Structure 1
């Protein structure tokens, strides 16, 4: 297999592991910075140049596109798709997952459990919007935040109104959700590859915080997800069109709920905690699909 990994930095752990895993399995692999790719689009065909030379003929492309370059990065990925390359996470699927509001609408429409979520635009509607959600605590999330950034917990109604008004003043896009207190600051990261959960870790928020992200000082341990949790994680990724995804679940009294579906999940934490070759599983899946 001739493989390209779209990544801004070849030294990042996840990118490096994908390259190592591909080469260990005898595949040809190259890392391409999506911001150095430029494209020619015409009815006669599609072309990509990279640092002054044409590139193409890749059997598969694995996107490692950060949130800050979503728009351009997905355009580059779409160009490779148009040129016949397979990708486990198509450009449109990444765009669906990156937009929290859109993702929640699509997941809820398929009956997948989620914390109750509200969204509105006009300041005159704030009081009624919050009444649709119910009493605090409330979780307020920026629509395109990552790694726990832009996620706030408000414990009083006045605080919720204040944060909502402040974010509207900044023209930020955000959603407001119910707080699942019984989870006690813990969630599950289920790593989905194809139609399997290949590794799961339980993340615990540090004392004084409710965000369990490892980037925020959370701790993690390997766990075996229940069959219901695995099925929900696989289905959530499938609904958004992702074949490689990090699905974050929370355990509630109403059963498992999806918090987020990450289209570019990091490998470092899950591989270390679970002692698993997740990169290898990704490469094997992509190789089988691109034949």
Structure 2
């Protein structure tokens, strides 16, 4: 097969590992910058041109779409889907997961545990939304924030109101979440591929930091998930329609609570912590899916 990794930087760890896994499995690999793809639509059907050349011989693409280019990146993935090129992560699932509010609404609808969360058109005089979260402290998150950026811990209700007012004055939307004190500044990342948790790590924030993101100095160690944690991770990924996902959870007195379901989870932290070849698992999923497609096509021909 000819498999392309959609990535803006071929030197990134995740991109390099995916290319290595593709080659090790005996396939042809290439890296395509999705922001340099031209999407063409005419009576001949959908097509994509990259650096002046028409891409018409790919079997699969692996999206590594950054949050800042979600709109264009998912348009490229969608075009490949229209061209019957397989993607282990669908364009609609990427779009769904990148919308923090929508993703939390979906998780809530499916009865998946999460910190109490609220979104409001805040009005200081009339709004009592904080009562739905619980007592302070409260976590305030920008809807567009990533990697722990745009996340504030307000220690008191008065501080929370001030922070919300500040964001509102900048026309910036935020969500409010219950602070899970017993998590101790740590969270769990469960990596899901094709309905299976293939690796899990516990990320601990540095001292005095309630955010556990590795980009912010956190440390990661391998962890064995409880049955409830594994079940929650799989249910969360399925609810978002993601065959490949990084599910972030907190350990709480109420059980596992999902913070986020990531459609482009990084490989570096999870592979180094677990020593599992996650990249190979993703390629194996593509191989399995392509075989199913071929069998289905043959069955339709003989029907």
Partner of 2:130: 130
Matches within 5 A, 1:64-143: 64-124=64-124, 127-143=127-143
Label 1:125 to 1:104 Cα distance change in 2 as closer, same or farther (>3 A). farther
The match for 2:223 is 223
What is the RMSD of the two structures over their aligned residues, measured on CA atoms? 1.2
Partner of 1:252: 252
Question: Measured at CA, do residues 275 and 120 of structure 1 come closer, stay the same or move farther in structure 2, by a change above 3 Å?
Answer: same
User: 1:233-252, aligned counterparts within 5 Å?
Assistant: 233-252=233-252
Q: CA deviation at 1:125?
A: 6.6
Query: Structure 2 regions of 5+ residues with no counterpart?
Result: 292-303
Give the structure 1 partner of residue 299 of structure 2.
none
Aligned twin of 2:32: 32
Aligned equivalents of 1:31 and 1:38: distance in 2?
16
Give the direction of change, closer, same or farther, for the CA distance of 1:203–1:126 in structure 2 (3 Å limit). farther
Do the aligned residues in 1 keep the contact of 2:245 with 2:264 (CA within 8 Å)?
Answer: yes
Alignment of 1:169-184 (within 5 A): 169-184=169-184
CA deviation vs aligned residue, 1:121-155 (integer Å, no higher than 9, x gap): 24357741222222211011111211111111111
The number of aligned residues is 291
Higher-Rg member (1/2)? 2
d(CA) in 1 for partners of 2:174, 2:283: 35
Change (3 A) 1:186 1:7: same
| TM-score w.r.t. length of structure 1 | 0.97
The alpha carbon displacement at 1:61 in A equals 1.0
Note the residue ranges of structure 1 that are not aligned, 5 or more in a row.
none
What's 1:186 paired with? 186
Confirm or deny that 1:2 pairs with 2:2. Answer: yes
- The answer on whether the counterparts of 1:126 and 1:161 sit within 8 Å (CA) in structure 2 is no
Please list the CA deviations of residues 154-196 of structure 1 after superposition, one character each: whole Å capped at 9, or x if unmatched: 1111110111111111222221000011111111100001111
SS of equivalent residue, structure 1 residue 136: coil
